[in-house]
């Protein structure tokens, strides 16, 4: 069950990454990042520290595993065990609870146009627009992920720190605001 969810998450992130990599622009304009100061941003891990994760998610830093990887796009992964995320099922009339790690994944893509953003978020079957968050933002409850566009940067913020979807959404928005404050 745990491997299935992890594999599903990898497929979803890969799909987003593939969509972001597709530079073909059908009828739209591609805009580029122009700023007075040139800041090279190479990883979403540049936007959030272990200390900020510890404070934001109320977890001991010693329990947080952090990975700064490049799958198709730069990805920052935080995982920790705290018993707040779990699955329950029945095996021969016996209720079984399986604890899953809490997790925060941030994927970043550069030079993304509005058209490309809209193409990427088409995979959200339960898309909910989120106002006042970058130029465009969408929350997908089923995949527990917030995607937002700001200054031609696309961020996917996957948060699974509770079995309560509203808590996951609130935390994803909190992480997005932290990132926006540093862009």
Q: SS3 of 124, please?
A: coil
Q: CATH number of the domain at 2-22+40-182, please?
A: 3.40.1000
Other C-beta atoms lying within 10 Å of the C-beta of residue 74: 20
Provide mean pLDDT across the span 13-28: 43
Beta-bridge partner residues of 150: 153
In this structure, what DSSP letter does residue 47 have? G
pTM of the model: 0.78
Rounded CA separation 117/177 (Å) = 18
pLDDT (tens digit per residue) in 135-182: 999 999 999 999 999 999 999 999 999 999 999 999 999 999 999 999
Query: Among the residues of the chain, which ranges form H helices?
Result: 2-21, 50-57, 114-120, 165-182
For 141, the token pair is: 């409850």
Q: What pLDDT is attached to residue 25?
A: 39
Q: SS3 of 18, please?
A: helix
Provide mean pLDDT across the span 6-28: 43
Rounded CA separation 174/161 (Å) = 13
**% helix / strand / coil in the chain, to the nearest 5?**
35, 35, 30
Rounded CA separation 130/126 (Å) = 13
Residues 163, 166, 171, 173, CA torsion sign: positive
Rounded CA separation 65/85 (Å) = 16
Q: What pLDDT is attached to residue 71?
A: 87
Provide mean pLDDT across the span 2-19: 44
The domain spans of the chain are 2-22+40-182
């Amino acid at each position: 069950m745990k491997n299935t969810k992890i594999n599903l998450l990898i497929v979803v992130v890969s799909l987003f990454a593939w969509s972001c990599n597709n530079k073909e622009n059908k009828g739209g304009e591609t805009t580029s990042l122009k700023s007075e100061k040139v800041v090279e941003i190479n990883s979403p891990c540049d936007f959030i520290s272990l200390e900020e994760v510890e404070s934001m998610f109320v977890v001991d830093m010693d329990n947080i595993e952090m990975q700064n990887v490049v799958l198709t796009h730069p990805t920052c992964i935080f995982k920790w065990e705290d018993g707040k995320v779990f699955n329950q099922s029945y095996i021969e009339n016996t209720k079984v609870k399986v604890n899953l790690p809490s997790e925060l994944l941030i994927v970043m893509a550069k030079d993304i146009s509005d058209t490309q953003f809209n193409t990427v978020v088409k995979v959200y079957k339960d898309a909910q627009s989120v106002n006042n968050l970058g130029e465009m933002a969408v929350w997908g409850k089923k995949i527990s992920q917030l995607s937002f566009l700001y200054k031609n940067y696309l961020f996917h913020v996957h948060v699974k720190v509770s079995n309560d979807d509203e808590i996951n959404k609130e935390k994803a928005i909190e992480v997005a605001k932290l990132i926006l404050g540093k862009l």
